[in-house]
Amino acid sequence: MLVTVVIPAFNEENYLGGVLEPLKSIPEITQIIVVSDGSTDGTVQVARNWGVEVIDLPQNLGKGGAMSMGVKAAREDIILFLDADLIGLKVEHVRSLIYPVLNNQADMTVGVFEGGRLATDVAQLIAPFLSGQRCIKKYWLEQIGNLESMRFGVETAITQFAYENNLRIMEVELPAMSHVMKEEKLGFVKGFAYRLKMYWEIAKNVRLGG
């Protein structure tokens, strides 16, 4: 089996290149899809310059919508999701996310930052199930309804599905890695408001009691 990487990206021209660079040298990765989620900056151009596939959504669908579009276009059986704003992504991180699924040691891996930056380490220590770095067979994603409408609730929904269906979940440490926080991208007030909206989108999609 081989891997399609799906990268949802909303205005990530500054960081996307750093995510794409380590992917190019991994033979098991045969398809890389950047889904620009209604970006108004140079995200699409950066992706094209790197020679990867681009889905250029004319309007913002939210993260779940962008990820779903990527899954629909995926040729391979295994999907690796990565955020477009990762800092310090290395080939080793990518291998540690994909090999357990490729080798059938896990049904899903979830990457957790470790030793990158205190703020992002702590956030992921508290809530690893929110992580956008995860690898899973496409078959499972196709069994989950409504991912496209879940916006930031998408990871919680995938995790919930995985628990309910007894998938083997493996948490994988991602040493010295971090991402750019909302407040850093958008400024404190706008970033914090965006963060509250994200928590609302997550809460809305949690199904209580199965």
Ligand X SMILES: O=C(O)[C@@H](COP(=O)(O)O)O[C@H]1O[C@H](CO)[C@@H](O)[C@H](O)[C@H]1O
Beta bridge partners of residue 108, listed in sequence order: 136, 169
- As measured in angstroms, the least distance from the Cβ of 128 to ligand X is 9
> Any contact of residue 120 with ligand X (CB under 6 A)?
yes
Measured CA distances, 65 to 42, 107, 147, 153, 193 (Å): 20, 22, 7, 11, 21
> Any contact of residue 123 with ligand X (CB under 6 A)?
yes
> Any contact of residue 12 with ligand X (CB under 6 A)?
no
| φ/ψ (deg, to 5) at 9 | -145, 120
What, of ligand UDP, ligand X, none, does residue 9 touch, CB below 5 to 8 Å by kind? Answer: ligand UDP
> Any contact of residue 66 with ligand UDP (CB under 6 A)?
yes
> Any contact of residue 155 with ligand X (CB under 6 A)?
yes
**Which of 4, 124, 135, 174 is in the footprint of ligand X by CB under 6 A?**
124
What, of ligand UDP, ligand X, none, does residue 155 touch, CB below 5 to 8 Å by kind? Answer: ligand X
**Which of 85, 107, 155, 201 is in the footprint of ligand UDP by CB under 6 A?**
85
**Which of 7, 9, 11, 63 is in the footprint of ligand X by CB under 6 A?**
63
Please state, in angstroms and rounded to a whole number, the distance separating the CA atoms of residues 83 and 102: 20
What, of ligand UDP, ligand X, none, does residue 124 touch, CB below 5 to 8 Å by kind? Answer: ligand X
**Residues found near ligand X in the complex (CB under 6 A):** 63, 83, 120, 123-124, 127, 130-132, 152, 155, 179, 181-182, 202
**Residues found near ligand UDP in the complex (CB under 6 A):** 8-10, 12, 37, 60, 62-63, 66, 83-85, 132, 179, 181-182
